[in-house]
A and B are shown apart, each in its own frame.
Chain A
Amino acid sequence: MVKTFLDTDNLPFCKGCSHQMIARSTEKALQILDIDPLDVVLVTDIGCHGIIDRKFHTHTVHGLHGRSVALAAGISAGLADPRKKVVVYIGDGGTSIGINHLLGAAHRNFDMTVIVHNNMLYGMTGGQQSDLTPGSFNIRASMSGFTEEYLDVLKLVEDAGAAYVSRIQAKGDFSEELAKAMRVPGFSLVEVLEVCPSYGLKQNKDVTVANISEKFDLPLTSRMNEKAKRAEIADRTNNPSLLDSMKPVSVEFGHNLKGPFTLLMGGSAGEGVQVAADIFATAAMSCGLNVTKKGSYPVTVGTGYSAVEIIVSPEEIVFTGIGKADWAVVSSEDGMSFLKKRIEGMSGGRVITDAAYTVPGSGAVVHAGDFRGQVPGREINLSMAIVMLGISGIFPAGAMVKAISDNKIGGKMDVAKLVAASDALRAQIGG
């Protein structure tokens, strides 16, 4: 028994509109494929061609102007079932506004068949020109900004990676051509050359469906791309929990804090400020403290300043902002200028830095030493944190040293040497 896909009574188009030819040939093509109507999803764009969905007995999805190809790509990927056919109806207008979706779907070679209804104008809005309108096709409300060249959608999607493309004309029964495209696994596109009698023919009296191809140099063609690759969507249903890979920090040290302690760190990108702060935070946790850490750096992470706000507290930390900082650790000129205002606002506490930098005036006591001379640049922030702990005594510097050794960067450096250099610096500048 022949399956019915389309209710052909009163198709919703003007008399003589090519869109009805496509609807009828689509039904026949699906009959040739001998597929069940409910194994087909017809996705229609906004435009005259799109209002046909109500007449189809397939599943139908009617979305936005120009986005149907992307919507269908999601459906195709979501179904991930080669027994299903996803067919898209889109106009030359939808192709213009949504060309990136056609390229994107072709590029990933999503399994779907796109039928471009090219009547060379925006039918639904009154016959304006689209990017697929040839320059010599007369448009009623023509605007400038167009050339003789039309957008060759076949070439574009082919370049992007489509598996199959063809250009045909909306004449007679072209179901075989549509069926051929629908059989292709992957992304296939058929551009159908059409006329819109209501807006296209009055100003273009000599144009017929049969002569568009020649008149506007739109060659009828079909091309298979045997090398087209399908985008695989990996199934990672058994991905482990993100939390499983988190190593809990056990409490091994004590601390001397009665309340929250706030610390600013500032340095240059590429010198491990953020990593040093993460290690500092882990060390604080190993002393039974709660921690919050906020990093800030320019969007270009490899250059300029890199700064951190840290709160450590024996109590739960509710508000994570820092008003006045208790201490600041500054390892470079970049860091100093970024933190200038914050340091000026300090009414007490300490600033640890290299002797080469000018510290803005504030209520803080400054401890400046020859860090740059004594430790490598990539370890300078770690060293300053060790010295800072040594002087402040908020929690043991040993917790920091252990956290460095436990971190993967610990394996790439001489930790004992860093500790010795830091202790020497502390002896010089501490007190």
Chain B
Amino acid sequence: MNSKPKKVLLDGSMLIIESLVRAGADVFIGYPITPANNLYSYGAKRFPAALAAPDEITTLQWMSGYAAAGKIPVSATSFPGYALMIESINMAYMMELPMVIVLAQRLGPATGTATMGAQGDVLLMNGTISGGSSLPTLCISNVDDCWSLPPEAIRWAVRMRTPVVLLTSKDDVMTLRSHDLSSLPPIEKIERDYFTGEGPYASYSPGENLVPPFLPVSDTKHQVRLTASTHDTRGILQNSTPEALGNTKRLQEKLDRNLGDYTFYDLDEEKGAGVLVVSYGITAQAAREAVSKLRAQGSKASLFVPKTLFPVPPEYFNIMEKYDRVVIAEENQTGQYRQVLFGSGPRPGVSGVNAIGRIITPGEIIQEVLENG
């Protein structure tokens, strides 16, 4: 890492695709959509296999098929494509199939503005799974995350047998920047564990950590049953037997129990600060700059950048509890993550900095910290 700098001009998409492949992703399946098009074209160039699907429902179904066959699939999309994927993401979640979906947010509703960044799909992440279970969601907050978070998404997907969303936005995946390749830490390929016992094998019989050991549908020793309907540990459809309901509840419990292994955030606390600036995704950069400017002018402030958005790690509340004031900056109209953390009603000491159709500036965050303090 002490080698001489290797500066190149690149976008976050290139780092995301390269690191996904290095971490062991096998196949990219995609349908084009701005602002995920660079991910698509790099995916086509770099992945061991790349398939052009005719739509996003097919995309997610093909991905699930690949995952059932023991591969790690990846796709990249934006809201309109994600909306089509939702039922199939539920299927993959219920079948416990690993995969990573990169969601590059853009301004909605509907087709909205394809070339305008946004952070308007956060509540959608929280509500994707019918029944309210959490869909594991990691959020990229700067160029370093474009390299370091994708392998964590793969690790989470594989170890927990679940779809994982890697949330990003137009500015992260399309902005070109000078970046030093010699500073990129190496990425280890994530090795997979398969069921190795004598059997009998039951596809949904939980092992260690509440996760059922995986076997692909090519196994020649044990029968594999995958199903998206409510099912027992053998993967057989049941209406609502205690065993089957227990299996459904386990889908959340496995995530909660192991969440500590997948909790990522930046915390930069200043001693004596009464205000905590919270931001994630594309707005985190403005928050980082705002906090350093505040400190430079003598105002104490701490900074918290959550990267694991869902399930919400319980320790986030321990962090925030220590502050009299929490200012949450995010590029959406209603303060979506603020609602997740603090509910939709007003809450003393909690305020938001919000905007749509433009990037939030450090100045706005500074103003909120200083004026309403």
Which A positions have Cβ atoms within 8 angstroms of B? 36-39, 41, 46, 51, 53-54, 57-64, 67, 70-79, 81, 84, 100-101, 104, 233-237, 239, 241-243, 246-249, 278, 281-282, 284-285, 289-299, 317-321, 323
| CB within 8 Å of A: which B13-60 residues | 14, 17-18, 21-22, 27, 29, 34, 42, 45-51, 53-55, 57-58
In the bound complex, residues from chain B placing their C-beta under 8 Å from that of A290 are 177-178
Q: A323 contacts B65, CB within 8 Å? A: no
Q: Which listed residue, A53, A72, A291, touches B178 by the CB 8 Å rule? A: A291
Q: How far is the CA of A54 from the CA of B232 in the complex (A)?
A: 11
Q: Which listed residue, B34, B70, B95, touches A78 by the CB 8 Å rule? A: B70
Q: Which listed residue, A71, A281, A295, touches B174 by the CB 8 Å rule? A: A295
B interface size (C-beta, 8 A) = 79
Q: A291 contacts B359, CB within 8 Å? A: no
Q: B178 contacts A239, CB within 8 Å? A: no
Q: A62 contacts B49, CB within 8 Å? A: no
Q: How far is the CA of A294 from the CA of B288 in the complex (A)?
A: 20
In the bound complex, residues from chain A placing their C-beta under 8 Å from that of B175 are 292-294, 320
Residue of A nearest to B54 (CB): A104
B217 at the interface (CB under 8 A from A): yes
Q: How far is the CA of A289 from the CA of B5 in the complex (A)?
A: 13
Residue of B nearest to A81 (CB): B218
Query: How close is A426's CB to chain B, nearest CB, in angstroms?
Result: 26
Q: How far is the CA of A291 from the CA of B180 in the complex (A)?
A: 12
Q: Which listed residue, B14, B47, B64, B95, touches A239 by the CB 8 Å rule? A: B47
Q: How far is the CA of A54 from the CA of B227 in the complex (A)?
A: 10
Q: A234 contacts B49, CB within 8 Å? A: yes
Q: Which listed residue, A46, A60, A248, A296, touches B181 by the CB 8 Å rule? A: A248
Q: A299 contacts B114, CB within 8 Å? A: yes
Query: How close is B297's CB to chain A, nearest CB, in angstroms?
Result: 16
Q: B65 contacts A38, CB within 8 Å? A: no
Q: How far is the CA of A257 from the CA of B67 in the complex (A)?
A: 52
Contact with A along B288-326 (1 / 0, CB 8 A): 110010000000000000000000000000000000000
Query: How close is B83's CB to chain A, nearest CB, in angstroms?
Result: 15
Q: How far is the CA of A77 from the CA of B48 in the complex (A)?
A: 13
B1 at the interface (CB under 8 A from A): no
In the bound complex, residues from chain A placing their C-beta under 8 Å from that of B18 are 241-243
Q: B361 contacts A285, CB within 8 Å? A: no
Q: A59 contacts B225, CB within 8 Å? A: yes
Contact with A along B61-74 (1 / 0, CB 8 A): 11111111111010
- Which of A61, A72, A247 counts the most B-chain CB atoms under 10 A from its CB? A61
Residue of B nearest to A37 (CB): B223
Query: How close is B28's CB to chain A, nearest CB, in angstroms?
Result: 10
In the bound complex, residues from chain A placing their C-beta under 8 Å from that of B68 are 61, 71, 74-75, 78
Q: How far is the CA of A317 from the CA of B71 in the complex (A)?
A: 38
Query: How close is A60's CB to chain B, nearest CB, in angstroms?
Result: 5
A-B contact list, 9 entries, CB within 8 Å = A53-B227, A59-B225, A67-B57, A74-B68, A76-B65, A78-B68, A239-B45, A242-B46, A318-B292
Q: How far is the CA of A384 from the CA of B292 in the complex (A)?
A: 35
Query: How close is B140's CB to chain A, nearest CB, in angstroms?
Result: 13
| CB within 8 Å of A: which B199-236 residues | 217-229, 235-236
In the bound complex, residues from chain B placing their C-beta under 8 Å from that of A296 are 115
Query: How close is B53's CB to chain A, nearest CB, in angstroms?
Result: 8
Q: How far is the CA of A58 from the CA of B223 in the complex (A)?
A: 7
- Which of A39, A237, A318, A323 counts the most B-chain CB atoms under 10 A from its CB? A318
Q: How far is the CA of A424 from the CA of B43 in the complex (A)?
A: 46
Q: B49 contacts A235, CB within 8 Å? A: yes
Query: How close is A283's CB to chain B, nearest CB, in angstroms?
Result: 11
Q: A63 contacts B228, CB within 8 Å? A: yes
Residue of A nearest to B222 (CB): A38
Which 6 pairs from chain A and chain B are nearest by CB?
A: A74-B65, A78-B69, A70-B61, A74-B62, A78-B66, A75-B65
Query: How close is B115's CB to chain A, nearest CB, in angstroms?
Result: 6
Q: A75 contacts B223, CB within 8 Å? A: no
Q: How far is the CA of A27 from the CA of B34 in the complex (A)?
A: 47
- Which of B10, B54, B67, B68 counts the most A-chain CB atoms under 10 A from its CB? B68
In the bound complex, residues from chain B placing their C-beta under 8 Å from that of A81 are 218
Query: How close is B38's CB to chain A, nearest CB, in angstroms?
Result: 11
Q: Which listed residue, B10, B65, B363, touches A71 by the CB 8 Å rule? A: B65
B237 at the interface (CB under 8 A from A): yes
In the bound complex, residues from chain B placing their C-beta under 8 Å from that of A235 are 48-49
Q: Which listed residue, A58, A59, A249, A323, touches B361 by the CB 8 Å rule? A: A323
Q: How far is the CA of A320 from the CA of B65 in the complex (A)?
A: 40
B362 at the interface (CB under 8 A from A): yes
With A278-B176, A292-B178 given, can you name 15 additional A-B contacts, CB distance below 8 Å? A62-B229, A64-B87, A64-B91, A75-B217, A77-B65, A79-B69, A100-B55, A104-B54, A239-B46, A242-B14, A246-B181, A294-B176, A318-B289, A319-B362, A323-B363
Q: B42 contacts A319, CB within 8 Å? A: no
B110 at the interface (CB under 8 A from A): no
B96 at the interface (CB under 8 A from A): no
- Which of A61, A74, A233, A296 counts the most B-chain CB atoms under 10 A from its CB? A74
Q: B9 contacts A249, CB within 8 Å? A: yes
Q: How far is the CA of A321 from the CA of B29 in the complex (A)?
A: 32
Given A79-B69, A319-B289: A62 and B227 interface contact (C-beta under 8 Å): yes
Q: B228 contacts A62, CB within 8 Å? A: yes
- Which of B45, B115, B217 counts the most A-chain CB atoms under 10 A from its CB? B217
- Which of A36, A78, A281, A297 counts the most B-chain CB atoms under 10 A from its CB? A78
Q: How far is the CA of A36 from the CA of B7 in the complex (A)?
A: 56
Q: B14 contacts A38, CB within 8 Å? A: no
Q: How far is the CA of A39 from the CA of B218 in the complex (A)?
A: 7
Residue of A nearest to B117 (CB): A294
In the bound complex, residues from chain B placing their C-beta under 8 Å from that of A77 are 51, 62, 65-66
Q: B10 contacts A246, CB within 8 Å? A: yes
Q: A63 contacts B46, CB within 8 Å? A: no
Q: How far is the CA of A293 from the CA of B51 in the complex (A)?
A: 30
In the bound complex, residues from chain A placing their C-beta under 8 Å from that of B341 are none
Residue of A nearest to B286 (CB): A319
Residue of B nearest to A308 (CB): B176
B8 at the interface (CB under 8 A from A): yes
In the bound complex, residues from chain B placing their C-beta under 8 Å from that of A246 are 8, 10, 181
Q: Which listed residue, B61, B114, B219, B361, touches A73 by the CB 8 Å rule? A: B61
Q: How far is the CA of A267 from the CA of B272 in the complex (A)?
A: 50
Q: B64 contacts A321, CB within 8 Å? A: no
Residue of A nearest to B362 (CB): A319
Q: How far is the CA of A344 from the CA of B5 in the complex (A)?
A: 39
Residue of A nearest to B49 (CB): A233
Q: Which listed residue, A60, A75, A100, A237, touches B235 by the CB 8 Å rule? A: A60
Query: How close is B245's CB to chain A, nearest CB, in angstroms?
Result: 18
Query: How close is B72's CB to chain A, nearest CB, in angstroms?
Result: 10
Q: How far is the CA of A100 from the CA of B65 in the complex (A)?
A: 17
Q: A74 contacts B217, CB within 8 Å? A: no
Residue of B nearest to A290 (CB): B178
B271 at the interface (CB under 8 A from A): no
In the bound complex, residues from chain A placing their C-beta under 8 Å from that of B55 are 100
In the bound complex, residues from chain B placing their C-beta under 8 Å from that of A57 are 223
Q: Which listed residue, B9, B22, B53, B219, touches A38 by the CB 8 Å rule? A: B219
Query: How close is B76's CB to chain A, nearest CB, in angstroms?
Result: 14
